[in-house]
Amino acid sequence: MLWGFGVVVDDTVVAYAVTVGREFDMAVVATGIETPADANRAREFGVEWGEGGLFGGPQPLTAQLAVPQPESLL
């Protein structure tokens, strides 16, 4: 599975990273989500946040600031 920066990582390592993040009450963000399959894979691990080309390309800061933000991360 590709996970962040195009590095191939074993599923066990990804599951561990998600678990550690949750144990420390941190938001876990999947990076490099380019396809619906990538998004589904992140969801299978319980990751609720992601970023990547699937959600849109780079935008100017003014465009990003115009997007409504959630009240909390989780």
pTM of the prediction? 0.66
d(C-alpha 22, C-alpha 7), whole Å: 22
Determine the average pLDDT of the residues in 16-21.
92
| Cβ neighbours for 29, distance < 8 A, ≥ 6 positions apart | 47, 49, 50, 51
d(C-alpha 56, C-alpha 33), whole Å: 10
pLDDT for residue 67: 74
